[in-house]
């Protein structure tokens, strides 16, 4: 069995910098601003805030939830 492990690339380092250090996948952005992870989306949806963010009626949170 072969297991390939890819070391962090420049693109990955750039994404980690854009998220303030978050290295989990997926990394979700809205209008170029970091929203958070899939857990963040779930939290925002449960709070009733996600639709407003996605339709542009509310800005993404300054920092992920």
Domain 1-65 classification at class level = alpha beta
pTM higher than 0.75:
no
How far is Cα of residue 11 from the mean position of the Cα atoms in its chain?
15
Q: What is the pLDDT of residues 24-53, one digit of tens each?
A: 878 888 888 888 888 999 999 999 999 999
- How many Å separate Cα 35 from the centre of its chain? 5
How many Cα atoms sit within 13 Å of 12 on the Cβ side? Answer: 8
Residue 62 has pLDDT above 90, yes or no: no
Residue spans of the domains in the chain: they are 1-65
């Amino acid at each position: 069995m072969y297991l390939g492990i890819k070391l962090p690339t420049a693109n990955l380092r750039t994404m980690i910098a854009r998220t303030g250090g978050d290295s989990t996948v997926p990394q979700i952005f809205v209008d170029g601003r970091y929203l958070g992870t899939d857990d963040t989306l779930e939290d925002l949806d449960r709070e009733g805030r996600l639709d407003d963010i996605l339709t542009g009626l509310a800005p993404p949170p300054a920092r992920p939830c």
